[in-house]
Amino acid sequence: MSTRSHSALILFASSALLMASDASAHGLWGHIHVTGWAVENMPDDELREFLLEPEVFNALLFGATFTDSGYAVDSSASRAYSEHTHWEPFIEDFISWVQINDPPPWDSLESRKRVAFLMGCASHGLQDTLFDSLFLYRVDEHDGKGQDEADPATDGFLVMDEHVRFVPEQDLPMDTLLELYAGLDEEITEEIILNALNFVTSVYINDEAGLNIAATIGASNEKALAWTRTHYMDPSVPGSLRAEIFPTMRHQQALWARLHGELSADDAVVFAYPEAPRRLLSADHTSASSWSSLIFGAGVRYEDDLVDLIGPDGESVDFTQANTRWGAEYTRLVRLQPAVDLIPGGWYTARLRSGIQTIDGQTSTTPFEHVFQVACDAASAEDCADLGEIAIASIDGVPEEPSDTGGEVPSGCGGGCASASGGAGLPLLLLLGACRRRRMS
Ligand SMILES: [Zn+2]
C-alpha cells in the first residue's frame, strides 16, 4: 500500500467512525432496516401496498438515512437541519405542507415518494427515541458503555449477522426540504445538504466499503459490548432494534392517518412496552427493565402529570415520569420509572390522563390505560399463567411463527462474523482502533 492510499484510508476510516459515533442514536443501517422491516410486517392493506412500490420504498428508506446525514460533516448548518429533522415540529410542518400543497391521493410518483420520505424521517426520529430512552440504559447497566459504542457497533452486528438487505439510493424532495428549513436559524442550501449526503453515501451507505467499515467497528466492539451483542435484536428487550419494528410500524400507520387528517388525540398512543402479552421484565426498580412506556403516533405536549402508575390493588405507586432521554416539548414517548420495587407477578396499569394535547392542536377526551403483569419470581411462579402467543416481528420478509416464550436470543455471530470482519481486513481494523483511541484521549 502506498503512503498516499494509506493516508486516504486513515481519513476515510476515521471520518466514517466519527459519522457513526456522532449520530444521535443507533446507526444508519439499523434505521434503514427497522424502517423497512416495519413495512414488511404491516397487514396487507393500502399503506403496505403504497410503501412497497419499489421507488416509494427506496424514498422511505432514504428518508431514514437522510435524517442523520448532516451530522456526518463538520458544519453547524448541516447539523442544524439534521437535528431539526428528527423531531415532531418538523414532521408536523411537513404533514401540513403535504396537506396544503399536495393532498392525497398522490397520483404522481413524485408525490408518493415525498410522502414516503417524510415517513422515513419520522420513523428514524421515533427509533432514536426508543433506542436512546430505553435500550441504551440497559447497555449501560450490563456493559458499562453508552451511545458512542453502541450506535456504530449495532450497525456492525447487523452486517456480521447478515441482516443487511436494503441499500437505498439517494432520492429526496429537495425543494420541499429547503422550504421547510427556511425558518431555521442557519441558512440551509442545496449545496449543504448534497455535501453531507455525498459523504454519507460514498463512505457508509453503500454495499461495498460501507458494510466493511460497519462490520469492522462491530467486530472490534463485540467483547466490550457482550450484553449488547446478545440482545441488540432481542424482541423482548424494549428499544432493541427488533423491538423497534412494531412501534415503527404503528407509527407509520399513525402518520398515514395524520396525512389524511384522521388521527384523533384519543388514539395518540400507538404502542406500549411491555407489549401484551409480554410481561414487564423486572420488578427491580433500580433497573431500566422495570420501566414501562407509552409510544405516541403524534407528538404529545410534555407536561409533568401525563401519567399515573397504579398497583395491583388500585393504589398509586411511587414513580418518576420521564420524557425522552433528550427531552421534547412534543414527545413521542413517556416513561414510567418506579421508585419502589414492584411485586413479582403483580398486575399494574400505566394510565394516561385525558386532556393531553397533540402537536396538531387536538386535545384528548378519554384516558388511556395500559395493563401489564410483572414477571414472576420463584415464589410467585404460579401467578404467571400462559398469557398467549407473542408476535415477533419478521426480519426476512416472511411472517415469523409466534413464540410461547418471546425470548428469542440470537446466538452470537451466526455465519457472518468471519466473512464480514475478514473482508474489512486487519489493517483497517487497526486503523479504526487507532482513530478511536485518539478521539477518546
Ligand atoms: Zn438520528
Distance 133 CA to ligand 1 centre (A): 13
Q: Are 230 and 339 contained in the same domain?
A: no
Looking at the structure, do residues 328 and 199 belong to the same domain, yes or no?
Answer: no
Q: Residue 220 is part of which domain span?
A: 3-243+410-440
Rounded Cα distance between 283 and 77, Å, is 45
Instruction: Give residue 193 CA to ligand 1 midpoint distance, Å.
Output: 16
Write down the pLDDT at residue 31.
98
How far does the centroid of ligand 1 lie from the alpha carbon of residue 128, in Å?
A: 6
- How much is the pLDDT for 105? 97
Give distance in angstroms: CA of 26 to centre of ligand 1.
7
- The answer to whether residues 128 and 233 belong to one domain is yes
* Spacing, Cα 50 to ligand 1 middle (Å): 25
Q: What's the pLDDT at 397?
A: 87
Q: What is the pLDDT of residue 25?
A: 52
Domain identity same for 176 and 136: yes
Residue 140 lies in a domain: yes
What beta strand segments (E) does 12-53 contain?
none
CA of 283 to the centre of ligand 1 (A): 31
Question: CA gyration radius for the chain?
Answer: 22
- The reply to whether the predicted model has a pTM over 0.85 is yes
Q: Which residues contact 23 (CB under 8 A, 6 or more apart)?
A: 68, 71, 151
Give residue 34 CA to ligand 1 midpoint distance, Å.
13
Ligand 1 centroid distance, CA of 153 (Å) = 15
Distance 80 CA to ligand 1 centre (A): 12
Distance 116 CA to ligand 1 centre (A): 17
d(CA 128, CA 31): 8
Cell of 23: 449520530
Q: How far is the CA of 438 from the centre of ligand 1 (A)?
A: 24
Between the CA of 410 and the centroid of ligand 1 the distance, in Å, is 25
Per-residue pLDDT of the chain in tens (441 residues, 90 and over written 9): 333 333 333 334 444 444 444 444 579 999 999 999 999 999 999 999 999 999 999 999 999 999 999 999 999 999 999 999 999 999 999 999 999 999 999 999 999 999 999 999 999 999 999 999 999 999 999 999 999 999 999 999 999 999 999 999 999 999 999 999 999 999 999 999 999 999 999 999 999 999 999 999 999 999 999 999 999 999 999 999 999 999 999 999 999 999 999 999 999 999 999 999 999 999 999 999 999 999 999 999 999 999 999 999 999 999 999 999 999 999 999 999 999 999 999 999 999 999 999 999 999 999 999 999 999 999 999 999 999 999 999 999 876 666 654 443 332 222 222 222 223 332 232 222 222 222 221
CA distance 178 to 194: 12
The answer to whether residues 30 and 132 touch, using CB atoms and an 8 Å cutoff, is no
Task: Tell me if 257 is assigned to some domain.
Answer: no
Between the CA of 25 and the centroid of ligand 1 the distance, in Å, is 5
**DSSP strand pairing (330-338 vs 292-301):** antiparallel
Category of 335 on φ-ψ map: left (φ > 0), alpha (ψ -120 to 50) or beta: beta
Residues 364 and 422 in one domain: no
Ligand 1 centroid distance, CA of 384 (Å): 38
Residue where a domain stops, chosen among 320, 354, 375: 375
**Closest listed residue to residue 132, CA positions, set 238, 215, 18:** 238
**Which residue, 330, 353, 375, sits at the end of a domain?**
375
Q: From ligand 1's centre to the CA of 33, what distance in Å? A: 14
- Kindly give the distance from the C-alpha atom of residue 93 to the centroid of ligand 1, in angstroms, as a whole number: 19
Closest CA to 236 of 386, 388, 409: 409
CB 423 within 8 A of CB 215: yes
Q: Is the domain of 274 the same as that of 178?
A: no
In terms of domains, do 343 and 427 share one? no
**89 lies in the same domain as 224:** yes
| Ligand 1: centre distance to CA 91 (Å) | 14
- The CA 344 to ligand 1 mean position distance, Å, reads 36
Q: How far is the CA of 383 from the centre of ligand 1 (A)?
A: 41
**Distance between Cα 403 and ligand 1 center (Å):** 31
Q: In angstroms, what is the span from residue 203 Cα to ligand 1's centroid?
A: 17
- d(C-alpha 146, C-alpha 16), whole Å: 18
- CATH code at 300? 2.60.40.1220
Question: Ligand 1 center to residue 182 CA distance, Å?
Answer: 21
Distance 407 CA to ligand 1 centre (A): 27
* CA-closest candidate to residue 290, choices 384, 374, 379: 374
64: part of which helix (H) or strand (E)?
helix 54-66
187 φ/ψ angles, rounded to the nearest 5 degrees:
-80, 125
- Please tell me the distance between residue 256's alpha carbon and the centre of ligand 1 in angstroms: 21
Q: How many domains does the chain have?
A: 2
Residues 207 and 90 occupy one common structural domain: yes
**pLDDT at 426 (0 to 100):** 27
Beta carbons within 8 Å of 60's beta carbon, 6+ residues apart: 35, 36, 39, 51, 116, 117, 119, 120, 123
Burial class (CB in 10 A: 0-12, 13-18, 19+), 113: buried
Neighbours of ion ligand 1 (CB under 5 A): 24-25, 68, 128
Output the pLDDT for position 26. Answer: 77
Q: How far apart are CA 204 and CA 300, in angstroms?
A: 34
Q: How far is the CA of 64 from the centre of ligand 1 (A)?
A: 8
